[in-house]
Amino acid sequence: MDLLLTHGYFMHEDPKELQIRKPYVPLGLLYLCSHLRRHGIDVEVFDSTFACRKDLYSMLESTEPSVVGVYANLMTRRNVIEILTTAKSLGWKTIVGGPEPGSYAWEYLNAGADVVVFGEAELTLQELVPALSSGATLNEIAGIAFLEHGVLAQTKSRPLISDLNAQPWPAETR
C-alpha cells in the first residue's frame, strides 16, 4: 500500500450522532481514492466512522509504514492530531488536509504532520505520495506546506481541477 486515507471522526465518541444515527460516507476520501488508483497509486481507506481509535491504531501498527493522509476539520482537530502523532511514532509519513489544516499549517506541522495540503488534494497527492515515498524534494509540488529545517515552507497554490466530469466516481472500499 502506498497510501492510507482516513479521518478523525469516530461516531461512538459523539453522543448526539449516536442518538440521530445518520452518519455520512467519507465521500471526499473516496473521490481521492478513485483518482489516485486511476493514476497507479495503491490506496486504502480506513473509514473510522463506525470504528474505534484502537482499530485504526492496530492497523497502523500491523501494516508496513508508508504514507497516511488524514482529513481534518474543526470538529475532529484533536483526534487528527492524536492520529498524526501516533502514525508518526510508528514510522508513517503523515499528510493532513481538509478545510481546517490550511489555516493552521504551522500548528499541524508542529503536531506531527509532515505535509499540509491546501485545497483539492487529488492532483497534489498524485505528486506528493511518490515524492514522500522516495524521499524526493517537495519544493516543486504545488499546494502544500511543510517544515524545511524548522521553517515553514509553503509552495505556490495549485489550480482547481478544470474538468470535474473527467474525475472517476468515488471508490468502493475493499
Residue 163 has pLDDT above 80, yes or no: yes
Q: Average pLDDT, stretch 95-123?
A: 95
Q: Average pLDDT, stretch 118-147?
A: 95
Helix (H) or strand (E) holding 37: helix 27-38
Question: 80-92: per-residue pLDDT in tens?
Answer: 999 999 999 999 9
* Mean pLDDT estimate for the chain: 91
Does the pTM surpass 0.75? The reply is: yes
Residue 57 has pLDDT above 80, yes or no: yes
The verdict on residue 173 lying in a domain is no
pLDDT value of residue 116: 98
Helix (H) or strand (E) holding 71: strand 67-71
Domain encompassing residue 155: 3-166
The verdict on residue 43 lying in a domain is yes
pLDDT value of residue 27: 81
pLDDT value of residue 110: 93
Contact 100, 92 (CB under 8 A): no
Residue 144: which pLDDT band, with cuts at 50, 70 and 90?
A: very high
The verdict on residue 171 lying in a domain is no
Question: 19-32: per-residue pLDDT in tens?
Answer: 666 667 788 899 99
Q: In what order do the strands lie in the sheet with 93-97?
A: 43-46, 3-7, 67-71, 93-97, 115-117, 144-148, 151-154
Rounded Cα gap, residues 108 and 168, in angstroms: 30
Residue 174 has pLDDT above 70, yes or no: no
The verdict on residue 172 lying in a domain is no
pLDDT value of residue 35: 96
- Total of domains in the chain: 1
Report the CATH number that the domain containing residue 24 is assigned in CATH. Answer: 3.40.50.280
Bridge partners (DSSP) listed for residue 68: 4, 94
pLDDT value of residue 60: 97
